């Protein structure tokens, strides 16, 4: 198993850009929860805290793909560094406004400015694609590795952010996120020899990457997937609180991410054949089926038994996450031109972020209206929507793959 991962790091500079990309990616999982924790303590309002965090998510959804489009056109170093500087400047403004009690509108203005944070995960994957586009098995392993890194970020990041904000001072989590972003992006962009070439004329002549019909299908399914993630998190915390064990919710959710991590590690070692489009639709379907046990457990078990049952169900549900997301990233690499790869990958993460915001809001509303157990209907419904979109868009995915040039000789990952 380990030999598959050792092979991808044989390329000079690969370990450096992957590890520095991990540091630069941590703020993605730390910033939103850091803002909520900080403002809840400093302003005493979860409503205000959640609203500012939501504005940040919406700003990132709107500005993120545009920043990545500039990355494709002008290069990672030339765009990521000034975008990071602008993000950090807005973050400092948010910290100062929160600390000194500035009017609420200033918090929202700073949150909008933070939306230009560069998508390091997309840039890392673009480097792997540049290295191994002619060797699909290695690219599959590289994408699997990055999916696991994403899961680690979303396990470690919130723990660091919340822990520091509650144990040190309220702004500590957001301060550390800013440090990770600044240092990580500087180290990442310093790796010049692995930076993909730019294609300014080719990039703009074809318009935006979102014009791809296949990519549109992926983005919509990612909205549904994000709604699953966001709603599961909110409902699980509420369910644990209803059982009088709110502190256990973090551990239960970590089991969800652990299942995805393990599946991603194993999936990266497989030599897969057959249609990527079929694998993606199958992954979405399995993800949907895996939501049903959550609803059954929550409606029948209570107390510690209920939490253990939810943990077991989440672990099994997590097994379908990484393989599905890995396949989706491989599809993006085939559906959009190389000159638009960073933008294309950022559109999928944008869909994911929008889905998280929608799922969190819907779950919170249903939990308040009908109780924690009923809240698990939200991820079930979101998963069902994802299946419908994937099935309806299957011909677009296949058509987009067929329109691309044939895979390199010897590929074990045909479309």
CA atoms of 377 and 375, how far apart (whole Å) = 5
pLDDT of residue 336: 84
CA atoms of 51 and 66, how far apart (whole Å) = 23
Q: 54 in a domain, yes or no? A: yes
Residues in the chain: 415
Q: 19 in a domain, yes or no? A: yes
Q: What is the pLDDT along the chain (415 residues), one digit of tens a residue?
A: 567 788 888 888 999 999 999 999 988 878 877 887 788 788 877 677 778 887 888 888 889 888 988 998 898 999 999 999 999 999 999 999 999 989 989 999 999 999 999 989 889 988 998 898 888 888 888 888 888 888 788 777 777 877 788 788 888 889 999 999 999 999 999 988 888 888 665 545 557 778 788 888 999 999 999 889 888 887 887 888 888 886 677 788 888 888 888 888 888 787 777 788 899 999 999 999 999 999 999 989 888 888 999 999 999 999 999 899 888 888 888 888 877 888 888 888 888 878 877 887 788 788 888 888 899 999 999 999 999 999 999 888 887 665 554 444 334 444 4
Residues 106 and 168 in one domain: yes
Beta carbons of 326 and 264 less than 8 angstroms apart: yes
pLDDT of residue 378: 92
Give how many domains the chain has, as a whole number: 2
Residue finishing a domain among 137, 164, 196: 196
Residues 183 and 272 in one domain: no
Q: 385 in a domain, yes or no? A: yes
Residues 223 and 367 in one domain: yes
CA atoms of 173 and 31, how far apart (whole Å) = 8
Residue finishing a domain among 150, 171, 196: 196
**Cβ partners under 8 Å of residue 196, min gap 6:** 76, 126, 127, 129, 130, 338, 341
Residue finishing a domain among 173, 196, 219: 196
CATH of the domain at 105: 1.20.1250.20
Residues 156 and 212 in one domain: no
Residues 179 and 313 in one domain: no
Residues 49 and 177 in one domain: yes
pLDDT of residue 179: 95
The domain containing residue 358 runs over which residues? 208-415
Q: 201 in a domain, yes or no? A: no
pLDDT of residue 410: 37
**Cβ partners under 8 Å of residue 345, min gap 6:** 68, 119, 121, 122, 125, 126, 329, 332
Whole-model pTM above 0.85?
Answer: no
pLDDT of residue 46: 64
Residues 100 and 156 in one domain: yes
Residues 234 and 273 in one domain: yes
Instruction: Count how many Cα atoms sit within 13 Å of the Cα of residue 166 in the half-sphere of its side chain.
Output: 10
Residues 184 and 278 in one domain: no
Beta carbons of 201 and 74 less than 8 angstroms apart: no
Q: 124 in a domain, yes or no? A: yes
Residues 180 and 314 in one domain: no
């Amino acid at each position: 198993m380990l030999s598959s991962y050792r092979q991808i790091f044989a390329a000079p500079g690969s370990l450096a850009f992957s590890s520095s990309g991990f540091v630069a990616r941590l703020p993605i999982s730390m910033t939103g929860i850091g803002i909520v924790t900080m403002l809840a303590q400093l302003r005493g309002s979860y409503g205000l805290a959640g609203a500012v965090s939501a504005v940040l998510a919406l700003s990132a959804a709107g500005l993120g793909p545009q920043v990545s489009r500039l990355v494709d056109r002008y290069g990672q170093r030339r765009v990521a560094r000034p975008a990071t500087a602008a993000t950090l400047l807005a973050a400092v403004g948010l910290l100062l406004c929160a600390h000194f009690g500035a009017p609420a509108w200033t918090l929202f203005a700073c949150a909008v400015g933070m939306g230009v944070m560069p998508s390091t995960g997309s840039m890392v994957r673009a480097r792997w694609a540049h290295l191994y586009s002619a060797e699909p098995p290695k690219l599959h392993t590289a994408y699997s590795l990055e999916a696991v890194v994403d899961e680690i970020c979303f396990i470690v990041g919130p723990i660091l952010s919340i822990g520091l904000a509650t144990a040190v001072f309220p702004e500590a989590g957001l301060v550390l996120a800013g440090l990770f972003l600044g240092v990580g992006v500087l180290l990442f962009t310093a790796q010049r020899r692995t930076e993909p070439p730019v294609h300014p004329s080719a990039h703009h002549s074809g318009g935006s990457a979102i014009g791809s019909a296949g990519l549109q299908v992926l983005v919509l399914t990612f909205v549904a997937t994000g709604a699953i993630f966001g709603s599961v998190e909110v409902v699980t915390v509420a369910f644990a609180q209803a059982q009088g064990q709110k502190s256990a919710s973090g551990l239960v959710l970590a089991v969800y991410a652990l299942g995805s991590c393990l599946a991603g590690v194993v999936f990266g070692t497989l030599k897969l054949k057959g249609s990527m489009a079929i694998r993606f639709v199958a992954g979405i379907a399995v993800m949907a089926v895996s939501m049903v046990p959550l609803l059954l457990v929550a409606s029948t078990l209570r107390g510690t038994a209920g939490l253990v049952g939810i943990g077991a169900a989440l672990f099994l549900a997590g097994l379908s996450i990484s393989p599905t997301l890995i396949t989706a990233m491989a599809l993006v690499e085939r559906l959009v031109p190389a000159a638009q790869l960073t933008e294309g990958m950022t559109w999928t993460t944008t869909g994911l972020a929008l889905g998280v915001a929608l799922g969190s809001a819907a779950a919170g509303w249903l939990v308040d209206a009908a109780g924690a157990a009923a809240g698990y209907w939200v991820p079930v419904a979101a998963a069902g929507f994802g299946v419908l979109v994937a099935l309806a868009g299957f011909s677009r995915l296949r058509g987009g793959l067929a329109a691309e040039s044939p895979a390199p000789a010897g590929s074990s990952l045909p479309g």
